[in-house]
Amino acid sequence: MKKLLSLLLVFLFLLPAGGAALAESAETPAKDFVEISDLDGLLAIADDPDGNYLLTADIDMASVIWQPIPFRGTLDGAGHTLYNLKIESVGAETRVTRDGNLIPYDTVFAGLFSVMEEATVIDLKLVGAELSVESEEHCFVGLLAGYMYRCSIQGCSVQGRARLINHAVQSGIGGIVGYGAGDFGYCRADVELIFEDRNLESRCEQFMGGILACGLVNIEDCIVHIQGYDSCHGYVHNGGLVGMYYYCGMDVHSQSVRRNEIYGQISFFEDNPNRRAYCEPTLGEEMSVPGNYYSNESEFERNEVFTYDKVLLPEQCEEPEYRITLVSPTCEEWGYAVHECKTCGYSWADSYFPPQHTPGEWEIVTPADETHEGVREKHCTLCGELLTRENYAYEPPEPQATEIPVTVRGADTTETLGVVFRGSAQAMHAQDATGPLTWTSDDPAIASVDPDGTIHGLRHGETTVRYESEDGLFHGVCRVSVYYSFWQWFLIVFCFGWLWYV
Ligand SMILES: [Zn+2]
Ligand SMILES: [Zn+2]
């Protein structure tokens, strides 16, 4: 009974609290999501970094060099992809990062987002991302973000290459994020990471990881393919998943690292008499211990280089010659360019270009005539999709130059015109020819021709009479034979005979 009473008390105590919580959540207005379908929409995130955004299309970012921006909102990629993200500089924001001794460094960051705080990114893909940054300051880079604090990144994938050349002390490069704390779930990184330390004066703190370079995070159900290259004069902390797993002075607690798969290798050189050379398949160095740590699978190669004469890079040919193969886009898939070294076979893909249909010829739906517009369509020859449907105006057929036979009025032949000697004339007529005609005779001494086409036989012989219409569309020729008529022959013979007789 006592037990029952206490249960009832607990129930009564909980009821109003639960009711209040329900009422509160019902009153909280649904977050408005700004839809983004193009590059301008992405650029506008900078104007409201606290906003909530929903991608409604794949976006080609090739036309800009992206300037990293801070972000504190929600970005729902809805499975869409940002192609050709290109980053060449750090963002304006600085935050404090700490090394393994909690020494603070004012640090700059680069990535799609420079600094993410209490942000959520879900279902977003980056394909063909290229980050190449040289920094004089302490610097962390990642293709999605340079820095994150209390962020959640779920169901995102990142494919691309990142290179950091650093002249300062504290620096790192992560496939998805550079430095920080938060959650990664069901993410995928397929990345080539290159770090080059140009500071030979001090022993740098350098970090590299397929998901995160340095920090404390939940990482669950992620898949990493990493090719890492790390030339460091100092301390390296390299991991297939996370370079250094450490809370770094942040107010976050130990987290889970489980059910991840890591494939690839990191080649590194550590120039440091006080050698540490951390490089492990999952967590390079664990300075904080993950609460749950299990079921992480890896096929990972730690490739430490002891003799060093040049920066470690994926391409080691002195003068590499690349064969470029263009993979055409299809109706639905993006195309891209594959670059492959003819000698060593090193290759990468970039220059992604959007899906394209293959338009066919115009197909007439309703033919146009002199009084009505017609309707026509173009379909894709591959998938049959209707690409264009439009009204079109009637166009009279193009006139073409024609040769029209010349006839002589009242005569049977169109070939040869008989004209009697001297003073006799025949009218010529070009059938169907339009507009004024110009008549000429090749030998006006045999036969001349009037502007109206009347031919005059002048003496015995043959010549050609030609005509051309003023618009050039009609032209033709007519052979003309000029000869004596029977009575003219008779007269000539009679006259010669009489002259001979006298
Ligand atoms: Zn090569
Ligand atoms: Zn198509």
Residues 95-107 have pLDDT tens digits of 999 999 999 999 9
* All residues at 6 or more sequence positions from 40 whose CB lies less than 8 Å from its CB, including other chains: none
DSSP code per residue over 1-30: -HHHHHHHHHHHHHHHHHHHHHHHHHHSPP
Neighbours of ion ligand 1 (CB under 5 A): 317, 320, 341, 343-344, 346
* Smallest-distance ligand from the CA of 378: 2
Beta bridge partners of 131: 87, 162
Pairing of strands 335-341, 461-469: unpaired
Q: How does residue 432 score in pLDDT terms, banded at 50, 70 and 90? A: low
Residues 328 and 388 both lie in one domain: no
Give yes or no for residue 375 having a pLDDT over 70: yes
Residues 335 and 386 both lie in one domain: no
Select from 356, 317, 320, 311 the least CA-distant residue to 339.
Answer: 320
DSSP run (H or E) holding 239? strand 234-239
501 within domain boundaries: no
CA distance 122 to 187: 9
Q: How does residue 150 score in pLDDT terms, banded at 50, 70 and 90? A: very high
**Phi-psi domain of 223 (left: phi exceeds 0; alpha: psi -120 through 50; beta: other):** beta
* Smallest-distance ligand from the CA of 381: 2
For the chain, the domain total comes to 4
Residues 387 and 409 both lie in one domain: no
Write down the number of H helices and E strands in the chain.
3, 44
Neighbours of ion ligand 2 (CB under 5 A): 331, 357, 380, 382-383, 385
407 within domain boundaries: yes
25 within domain boundaries: no
Beta bridge partners of 464: 479
Q: How does residue 449 score in pLDDT terms, banded at 50, 70 and 90? A: confident
Q: Phi and psi of 412, rounded to 5°? A: -85, -35
Instruction: Identify which has the larger pLDDT, 316 or 187.
Output: 187
Select from 376, 380, 375, 341 the least CA-distant residue to 360.
Answer: 380
Residues 79 and 103 both lie in one domain: yes
Residues 380 and 418 both lie in one domain: no
Residues 343 and 371 both lie in one domain: no
* Smallest-distance ligand from the CA of 382: 2
Q: Report the separation in Å between the CA atom of 321 and the middle of ligand 1, taken as the mean of its atom positions.
A: 7
* Smallest-distance ligand from the CA of 358: 2
Asked if 303 and 295 count as a contact pair (C-beta separation under 8 A), the reply is no
Exposed e or buried b per residue across 52-70, where buried means at least 16 C-beta atoms within 10 angstroms of its C-beta = ebbbeebbbbbeeebebbb
CA distance 212 to 460: 106
Residue 408 pLDDT: 52
135 within domain boundaries: yes
Residues 96 and 175 both lie in one domain: yes
Residues in the chain: 502
Mean pLDDT of the chain: 87
Instruction: Find tokens 């005059």 and name the residue.
Output: 456
Q: Report the separation in Å between the CA atom of 335 and the middle of ligand 2, taken as the mean of its atom positions.
A: 14
Residues 193 and 57 both lie in one domain: yes
Residues 333 and 388 both lie in one domain: no
311 within domain boundaries: no
9 within domain boundaries: no
Domain boundaries, position 440: 402-488
Residues 414 and 345 both lie in one domain: no
Q: Report the separation in Å between the CA atom of 316 and the middle of ligand 1, taken as the mean of its atom positions.
A: 6
